[in-house]
Structure 1
Amino acid sequence: MDSQDKIKLGLAILLVVAGVAGFYLLAADQTVLRVVLFIASLLAAAAVLWQSNMGRSFVVYAQESVAEARKVVWPERKEATQLTLLVFAFVFVLALFMWLVDSSLSWLFYDVLLRRG
């Protein structure tokens, strides 16, 4: 990251901090103005970041992510329902198994070995 990008990143952070500070420094009854000020500071910070190498690379990354998400083959409703039911059944069986192991170990240690039952 070169010095210009560091300055732009610092400016963007200062803009966000100024927006948050402005939000809390304005009177509570000026809600609309507080929100507009905060959103404006976020937009200004995004505009500053957009001009940096890091911002441009983020935009390229976001565009590539959207392109990859469009390539995904999403399951049909029936398939998603079947997989969800399969997961619920597996969780139920695993919970039952864990309960049996816990109960067996409790019985073994407390009733048989320690004779506290």
Structure 2
Amino acid sequence: MANSSVETVNGVSNRILLTLGVLLVVAGIAAFYLLDMYAWYIRSTTLAVSIVAAIAVELVSASGQSFIKFVKDSYRELNKIVWPTSKEASQTTLVVFGFVFLMSIYLWVSDKTIEWVIFSLILGWR
């Protein structure tokens, strides 16, 4: 079997935590619509609290722990990046703009030359 990057839910505790998280979100959505006699901010707060609780429950599970580890590793790798200085970024931007300008002139001249050859020389329209 090929190496798959799909993560499956293993273990009873992980399945229970995943189910609890889904139930919390469903309960929050249901409460949002069932509490229609209350103000919108109370209903929205109820929904937000249930979603935050579901995220907290998921972060406790094994897949949540691996996600936290992934985020920490990503942040650690982000700190290893050597960012260009302001001067280097400005110089690179100017080189790109210059190249785009020269290419636009080249393409315009090529287009007008092909237009002249086709319409004037071959077809004789002008």
Q: State whether TM-score is above 0.5.
A: yes
Match of residue 106 from structure 2: 97
Match of residue 61 from structure 1: 70
Q: Give the 3 Å change call, closer, same or farther, for CA 109–6 of structure 1 in structure 2.
A: farther
Question: Which structure is larger by alpha-carbon Rg, 1 or 2?
Answer: 2
CA offset digits 1:71-103 (Å, max 9, x no partner):
112211111111122222222223333333333
Q: Give the 3 Å change call, closer, same or farther, for CA 109–18 of structure 1 in structure 2.
A: farther
> Quick check: 1:35 aligned with 2:56?
no
Q: Give the 3 Å change call, closer, same or farther, for CA 66–107 of structure 1 in structure 2.
A: same
> Quick check: 1:46 aligned with 2:51?
no
Computed over aligned residues only, the root mean square deviation of the Cα atoms, in angstroms, reads: 3.0
Q: Give the 3 Å change call, closer, same or farther, for CA 6–103 of structure 1 in structure 2.
A: farther
Structure with the higher helix share, 1 or 2: 1
Q: What is the aligned counterpart of 2:91 among 63, 82, 85?
A: 82
User: Post-superposition shift, 1:114?
Assistant: 4.3
Alpha-carbon distance between aligned partners in 1 of 2:59 and 2:69, rounded to the nearest angstrom? 11
CA offset digits 1:30-85 (Å, max 9, x no partner):
34224323321321121121122211111001001111111112211111111122
TM-score, normalized by length of structure 1? 0.70
TM-score, normalized by length of structure 2? 0.66
Percent of residue pairs identical = 37
> Quick check: 1:72 aligned with 2:99?
no
Unaligned runs of 5+ in 1: none
